[in-house]
Chain A
Amino acid sequence: EIVMTQSPATLSVSPGERATLSCRASQSVTTNLAWYQQKPGQAPRLLISGASTRATGIPARFSGSGSVTEFTLTISSLQSEDFAVYYCQQYNNWPLTFGGGTKVEIK
């Protein structure tokens, strides 16, 4: 099983600042990596797939990078609606696995 490790667990950021979230895979997933955003009481929403491709309707302030085992989600200028939990997920191998999540909170 590929273990996905996200860091930090919690990120305190002021509105307008940049947020950088990390995701590490225990073995190569090439670029078969997705990022999801989840707000309280809501279903997850796809942000990024293929490590760097924004999903339809996702603002340009969200960007993804990385390959193999190291991945980054960057939010260039945090808006109030971006405070949420973010999960990475690999879909390269069975079983599909998610990271433990990074909570982005208001500083």
Chain B
Amino acid sequence: EVQLLESGGGLVQPGGSLRLSCAGSGFTFSNYAMGWVRQAPGKGLEWVSAIVDNGGSANYADFVRGRFTISRDNSRNTLYLQMNSLRVEDTAVYYCAKRTAVAWGHFDYWGQGSLVTVSS
């Protein structure tokens, strides 16, 4: 059974940093691209970032480019999202999601999400 378990969320002040982690199990983690999708309170889904299977390439939404960094450690079956210069508008539940191929595809499995609250 595929499982994705996020951790690292919490309350942070504007301008602060936070690192999210996502531990994958039940599949060969190193064979799939992964991504992060967020959802602000009461709002829709918003793609944040994605990374290919070997970590060699990543893409970002414009609103996080230069502030967030996605990475992965395939030896630990773990995906990361380093979030710097956080803004109030970054407040959201952040979902880790598995893509269906090495560098492409939709999201076939999702974690339960990690809440990030940016507030003074």
- Give the interface of A toward B (CB within 8 A): 32, 34, 36, 38, 42-46, 49, 55, 87, 89, 91, 94-101
Contact = CB atoms under 8 A, between A and B. Distances in A.
Nearest to B100: A49
A34 B104 CA distance: 13
B44 A95 contact: no
B107 A46 contact: yes
A97 B106 CA distance: 11
A89 to B, nearest CB: 7
User: Which range holds the interface residue count of chain B?
Assistant: 20 to 34
Nearest to B6: A43
B34 to A, nearest CB: 13
A87 B95 CA distance: 15
A2 to B, nearest CB: 11
Given A95-B47, A97-B47, 17 more contacts: A34-B107, A36-B45, A38-B45, A44-B45, A44-B95, A45-B110, A46-B107, A49-B106, A55-B108, A87-B45, A89-B45, A91-B104, A96-B35, A96-B47, A96-B50, A100-B44, A101-B44
B113 A34 contact: no
A91 B62 contact: no
Contact of B46 (A38, A45, A49, A98): A98
A45 B95 CA distance: 12
A89 B105 CA distance: 11
Interface of B: 35, 37, 44-47, 50, 59, 61-62, 95, 100, 104-113
7 contacts: A46-B106, A49-B106, A91-B104, A96-B35, A99-B44, A101-B44, A101-B45
